[in-house]
Structure formats: structure tokens, C-alpha cells
A and B are shown apart, each in its own frame.
Chain A
């Protein structure tokens, strides 16, 4: 361990790179996750790490954080070889990481979460809660975060939790801060806030590794960028020397010309009508219609009630009042099974919590909705051969990358998990498809594939309700856009009149 060195390396350190990854190789049974990659981070810079899902970014981050040991190569920090065996070693050495998934304890307070394991003690060796609250407040003031240090983390929104994670990472005063898709769960305003924090840290000499799939963020914040593809190092370039298309070309090895391949398709009769839908305390008076072949985008800040409306329509948490009409007939959607019998499908926002069966294999993940729809049922017995055939067909169509469909889903990348979940719903041949953040945390290649697929489905007459926090996606994909603000519909925009500014005006009011 580099005791003492870590926290103060800034100022003392004179070299060019604060963190150097040299020819690191890592193999897992059957796959080479990293094939002699390199990554060099300068102090006081933001270095973006880009690559498709499965490119090896997360594996490398886990090596730096001490979760894995590399088979070959080394990681040097401030010019010295690092021997990191646990995440705690990494922190002590001056490397802090914000993981893609939140790692907070919901039943503890904000302050307890931030200082866990490093709590200030009083004379008796007991935790000094007053001091801890003061430290938290000072940290929040510094970062301009407005949260109650004594509040329960479980009561916070996802975006607020993300800010707590960021504050926690900053509180280590590390020389290197790694952020793995920190903006995947937060809205534009909070992204701005995060960027201010990042610029601040950069000015203080911190080297920041920023993993993202979002191009516009990249150009806004990154100084340099490194691209990985299929576990291989492709290039490191200055962010100002490249264009968006250059990066995409490096990432996927081919050109993706049309990111949002929306084609106009005939829009048919109204299939879903929602009237004055209300869930007390969450959203109110939501009304809209959805027609065959139409893609209705739903924009709004996180917490505006978008996902709750989708959950109410699908019967996950039924609305307290209001009406849902399918094919003009009023229906009572009391459970997801009811929604499915009406021809609905629902891709949820949270892959891990409400989507995947991580311990089960691909087939078991794909088949579940089809089985519960009862379509392949033979007096309770499952026609497994037919189900397997369908699963194979759809995972080929969606280009799911997995050695075979008996692979445990936990071992697949996020993008491939998402494709499996989409396959799950396509198997049920829905007429109304509700997609909540269909491309969250997915690489460019998979993203454009999913977009193409959504358009295709609309072309086949499926009515699509698509919720997304990514404005370019909403603008690029939707025929119409419904904007929500604090539980209310604040307006509708047609494809022709919609632009970033108009949507944000309605969303933020």
C-alpha cells in the first residue's frame, strides 16, 4: 500500500500521468475481457472512456478498484505500481469510484452513508453524530448540494441518491475519481450540477475518468478520450480533435449514419385512451390517446411521474381514479396479467430490480411473459421446444451477444440484458408496448438497433409509449411528445414543432 502517498500525491507528484494502465490483460473462462489495454490519465483532466457494452470498460474499472487482479500488465499510480486487493485499498491509495449501480444503504441516513467506516469519534470512542452532520453539511455546501444530512437515504429519489454517491466519492479527496455512467439516472439540471462539480475537481488537479455513452456530455466535459472495442484498446485522442461520427466509428468499427432511424408510418385508429388518470399524491389528471403505429414519447424530469403513469396503465400500481380505454372499451387494469390479456407489454425502467432474473438463464428470462400469457400452454405443460425456437429466433433478430442461451443472465452486459427483456415482450406480440427508458445504459450500436426495432414495430401497427430521459431520443423517435411536470401533463408537442428548448420549457416550467 502507498500509505500517506495517496491522499497528498497532488502537489508532490510531478509526472505526466497520475494513473497509468499498461498492457493489462484479463481473461475469463471462454472470453478475453481485456486484451493488452492501456489508459493514461493526466492530473487535472477529464478523461472519457468510451466503448460499447462488453468493450471491457467495467472490467478495467474493477481491476483498478481491486475487485479483479489482472492476468498480465500493471496499474501505476503516481508513477508507482499499485497493489490493490480490495476497494478499501483503492480508496486509501487515492482512487475513488462511483459505480454505475447505486451502493447506498437505504435504511441509514445520508450522513451515515457518506462517512461509513470513517465516522468521526468523540472522546469515548463513540460516533460523534453532531460532528458528522457538520462534516456532511460542509461537504454539501462545497458541492452546492441541497439535501438533509439526517434524512433517510431510502426516502430520496434515484437522482438524489446519485448526488449522495458523488458527494461520498468526493469526500475521500482522492487524486483519481472514476465515474461509471454517473448521469444514467439523473436529469439535465442535475447533469449541469454534476458538471460544475467535475470542473471544480479538475481545477483542483483531480484526474477524472468518466465513462459514458452520451456523446453530447462527452464534448461538454471531456479533455481526452480513450476508446475500447471488444476488449481491445483502439485509441486515445484529444476531445477537441474528433467529431461524434469519428468516435462512433472507433467504437463500433463501422459507421452508424442514422442514430434515430424513425420513418413515418401510417398511424391508425386509437387503441389506448387514458382519461383523467390519477394516483393520489403521485400524478393527477393524466389524459392522452395512443394510436396504432404511433410512437408517443414521454418526456419530463425524473420524479415527474412518467414511470408511475406507465405502471398504472400496466396495473403494477393501479391508479386511484380515472379511466383506461382499450379499443374504446373501458377496462379495469388491476394487475399486469390483466394488461397483458389486453395486449400490452411493459419494459420497466429498472433492469435489475423489476426486469431481469439475474440468476436464471437467457431462455428462462425470455420465456416468462409468454408463459404467463398462456399462449404456449398445453394444459399447464410448457412446449419447451417451441419456446426455445422462439427465444433463439428473437435473440438472433436482436443480435444478443452470448455464448449460448443457457448462460446466466448476470454474466451478460447491460445492453444484452436489455435486448433479452425486449425479446421477452416481443414474444407476447403486444399491440401496445410501453417502453420505460428503453436504451438506458446501452452502447451506441445496441441503441440504434433498439431504435430501429421500435420503428419497425410501429410500422407493423404496434402502438408505442416511450418514456425517456434522453431528449435526443424522445425528439428523434416520437411522432408526438407528451411532457410531464410534477405529476401533471404540461403539454403535447408534435414531431414538427418539438425541439430541445420547447420540451425543456414544458418539463421544467
Chain B
């Protein structure tokens, strides 16, 4: 009899485990795809700025795209309010199904918008609207998925199970990077960057991914806790008022934001976005290599989300998150300084491999719109004994005199007929392909930052779920999460770039390239102090209430 009972008990345990595994899988796939949709825009920001903005305003176009990028993040808190309310009123399942449809639809549509060259200002306006829709959808997705999984997870394992949802943001980034690298490598730069080129494919692929995810999510049932509340007629009538209108709950929303999520947000975006942008635009590491190394670092660090989620069930959430924040505050500047040291040509002078160092013949290109203007392009490849190759492309802009005959060869032109335009300084584009050892050093430096991300982010879903009651959980946890991540975190690249711009002067035209780090360091420091003083390390075993 006893054996029979034990068998039934173990079978029911197995069924429970596989049901949780399905819940995690189905929720995670959808959330991962939403992150993928959201990130491809940011990763293709440079191409998007060229395609959707006037061609003559390089920096302005990039900043405009970044502003749209920021807008995507800024509307996330609004998405949290709209869909959080809906999730607490009609249920978790249908709400995050809706967010998935909005996200997938708007991502696919971005891939269909013709460029500025074809439809003028309608292009950036359409892209802005679609980007806002993406932000709105994302604002509703995460809170729903985290709440849904946490409400299925057994007590004492909530950190472990919700940590799988926490991997999705990073894996979405991984997927986005992987798809972009694959298409770009198989198409080549020119085809990829053309108006209807390969950069649009990642947006179109989204439709397929979202379709699959919707099918999976349709098979899911409503969260047991929410169903119970609904059956008992105890769901909230006005989740917004109950979440933010009552001091007892609102004070917890503020504590969640200032004591945990704002620090987590800046650590997340610095480790995974600012790092990549810094390596590519400041250190000038070649496009594919700068993304490849991110992929390796993400791949190696991702299991740590689950590790720290699991650990948070044993020792509490607070100290793991705070340690991650403190480590980030103390080591960001040394890490980024090391990025500069490793990729600096001056540190490699001794190792130049003259046998492989090449200077190409000058190539002359006549401006198609203004045939009195020519560009003289020359490549210098400096090879190093350790295998690194730094490519310099120098472009001189020359103004031709009126007597110039476009049919004559450049060699026959006497220098007196050419006047160098003094307003245009020679433009030098640098692309560095690092040697194996430096490449791996860069990977480890990014890896360390992503480990910080896993420390602050792994336990946070469980931490937030445990802070708020079931009937207003979706609304209450979504808002601080998306202000912390969307506003504080999402603005890291934008504000980082802006701070560096402020340090530029005529004496230092490049400014202090490390100055952008003061923003995440400052925010994480304040958050660390608040978390240390005000947060408790207690785990709420009963989230059924």
C-alpha cells in the first residue's frame, strides 16, 4: 500500500515538474522573441539612421535614431501600466498573448517601411510610431511572463524557476546578434546595407518566430493563483488605484524602483549594450568581431542567471543583487580602461609585421552629384606579429578647378588644378581585427560585466513577485521594472554618448571617452546604498496571498 502511495506521489511530482517545465518553456520562448524584436532595432541603429533619415546629417541622424531608441524605452512604463492593469483585470495569459501580437506585428512592419530616399519624412515618422508600439508591447510582456511563472513555481524554488525567464532578455540579445551576423556575413556589407538589403530580414523573420510562439502560448492555461482569485471574485476592480493610490503599496513600488531595479537596469544595459557600442565605436574593433565576442561572453555567462536564481532561494535575493551592483560600480572604469589599452595601436608599435603591412594605391572617386568634387581613398593595412590587423581607410576630399576635364586620368592632373578643401579634414576610418589572445581578453572583460548582470538580474523577478499581492502584482511589479530598465537602463547608451559629447572641447576633440560611465556608476551607487539600508533579505514563502 505504502509503495503504491509513494509511486502515485512520485508520478504526481513528475507531472508537476513537467508542467512547470512547459510553463517555463512556453513563457520563455515568447519573452525571448519579444526581446529579439526589440533589440534588432538598436543593433541596426546605424543602418536605420542612414535609411530613414536625411543623408546629409550623420550625427544628427544617429542621435535621432537613438532618440527613437530611447522613445522605445520611455514608452515601456506606459505599456507596463496599460497591460499590467489588463493582466490584473482579465488575466495573465490573454494579456501577454496580446503583447506578443503587437510586438511581432510592429517589428515586421518596420521591415516593410520604405527608406527616406523613397517616401521622405513619412519614413522616420512611421518608424517612430512602430517603435513606440514595440516599447508599449514590451512594457506589458515581461511583468506578465515573470508573474505567470512565479505563480506556478513551488515555494522555495521561485528564484530558480523565474531565473529561466531572466535568461530570455540576454538570449534575445544573443539571437538578435547571431541573426544579424549570419545575414551580414552571407550577404556582404553592401548588399546588407542597401535600402531593401539584408538588414530588413531580421525584422521579417520575427513574423515566423512570433507565429510559432503564439501557437505555443495558446496551449497554456491561466495562472492558478489568478484563476483562484477570479473564482472567488477577489480580483482587483481598479489595479492602478490600488497599486499607486494607496500609500502601503506605493511605498513598496518606490522601494523596488530605487532600491533594486534602477541599479539593475543600468548594470544590465552597461554590460550588454554599452560594452558592445564602446568596443565598436570607441575601440574601433571590426563589426563582426565586436559582435562575435559579445556572443561568446553572453553564451558563457548565461548559465549564471540560473545559478544566481537558485542561490537566491538559499541565501536570499538582496545580497546577491547588491554584490553585483557594488562590483559593477568598483570595476567599470578599470574594465573600460583595459578595453582602450588592449586595442590601442600605440601599445603595438614594437610588434609591426612589415612583411604583411600593405599600403594600397590611391583610388579616385568622383562625386556623382557634384562632379567638381573628388574623393581620394587609400587603404593602409598595418599587420602585427601577434596576428592583429588594423585597417585604416583615409579619404581626402578635393575640389577640382573649372578647367578640369572629367575624361582625363587622375595622373595627368597637375597639382595646381587641385585645391584641397580646407573645410574637410581627411576622414580616417579605422577597423581593428584583434589577435586571438587580445580577442579572448576582450571576451573575458565583457564576460565579467555579464556576470554582474546575472547577479542583479537573475533573482529580480522572484524578488519583485514576492513584494506585491496577487491581485495587483502584474501592475505593481511592471511599472518599477520598466522605469528601472526602460528609463534608467535604456538610456545608458544615449546618456553615455551625451556625457562624452559634453567633455569635448577644442583642446580635447575626442573628449573623455570614459566619462559616459559616470551615469551607470552614479545610479548603481545610489541604488546600492538604498538597497543596503532599506531592503530586507527575507524570502516570502507564500505568494498565494
Q: A and B: partners? A: no
Measured CB to CB, the residues of B under 8 A from A are: none
